[in-house]
């Protein structure tokens, strides 16, 4: 156990390990473009990417592997079970789930009369612009056929 603890303490203070974690963070955050075949990309996308990214962010913040592992474990339990409405262990109240779903459909925003008028004006401008473009196209076609 002492050997493992010494190895982890060594990694905690390693700038090389910090660099590797930064690269993992960038890959997970999609800041670095990597050309992979579809199967490899799919595997990376769906196999533990979220957990690796959370671990990387936690480690970068704490510089402590044990704390990063603990934070990652807490995140996984919260995200995958306690706060996941599809989990049988979800602790979110049903009332909250229903109101959130309703908010997805209504966008939680009442459209004002001014917004309706502005949208109608924009649609009228678009119609006029399209008509003018069509007229110019017909005129060009007529002029081409004239000669």
Q: Can you say how many angstroms the Cα of residue 116 is from the centroid of all Cα atoms in its chain?
A: 31
Residue 51 lies in a domain: yes
Residue 32: the pLDDT is: 56
Q: Taking the model in full, what pTM does it have?
A: 0.46
Phi, psi (degrees; rounded to nearest 5) at 80: -90, -20
* pLDDT score for 146: 63
In a domain, 137, yes or no: no
pLDDT tens, residue by residue, 63-103: 889 988 999 999 899 888 888 888 888 888 877 766 555 55
Residue 31 lies in a domain: yes
pLDDT value for 134: 84
Provide the residue range defining the domain that includes 14.
2-91
Task: Give the number of domains in the chain.
Answer: 1
| CA 55 – CA 66 distance, rounded (Å) | 10
What does pLDDT average to over the chain? 80
102 located within any domain: no
CB 21: neighbour CB atoms within 10 A? 22
Q: How confident is the model at residue 60 (pLDDT cuts 50, 70, 90)?
A: confident
Q: Cα dihedral angle (62, 64, 66, 69), rounded to 10 degrees?
A: 50
- 74 located within any domain: yes
> Does residue 97 form part of some domain?
no
Return the half-sphere exposure (C-beta side, CA atoms, 13 A cut-off) of residue 15. 0
Q: In which band, very low, low, confident or very high, does the pLDDT at 107 lie, cut at 50, 70 and 90?
A: low
Q: Strand, helix or coil at 31?
A: coil
């Amino acid at each position: 156990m002492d050997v493992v603890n010494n190895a982890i303490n060594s990694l905690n203070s390693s700038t090389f390990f910090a660099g590797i974690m930064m690269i993992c963070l960038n890959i997970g955050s999609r800041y670095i473009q990597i050309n992979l075949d579809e199967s490899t990309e799919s595997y990376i996308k769906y196999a533990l990417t979220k957990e690796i990214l959370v671990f990387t962010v936690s480690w970068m913040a704490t510089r402590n592997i044990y704390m990063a592992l603990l934070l990652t474990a807490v995140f996984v339990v919260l995200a995958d079970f306690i706060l996941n409405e599809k989990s049988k262990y979800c602790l979110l109240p049903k009332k909250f789930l229903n109101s959130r779903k309703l908010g997805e459909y209504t966008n939680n925003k009442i459209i004002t009369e001014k917004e309706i008028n502005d949208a109608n004006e924009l649609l009228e401008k678009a119609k006029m612009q399209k008509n003018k473009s069509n007229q110019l196209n017909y005129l060009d076609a007529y002029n081409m056929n004239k000669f």
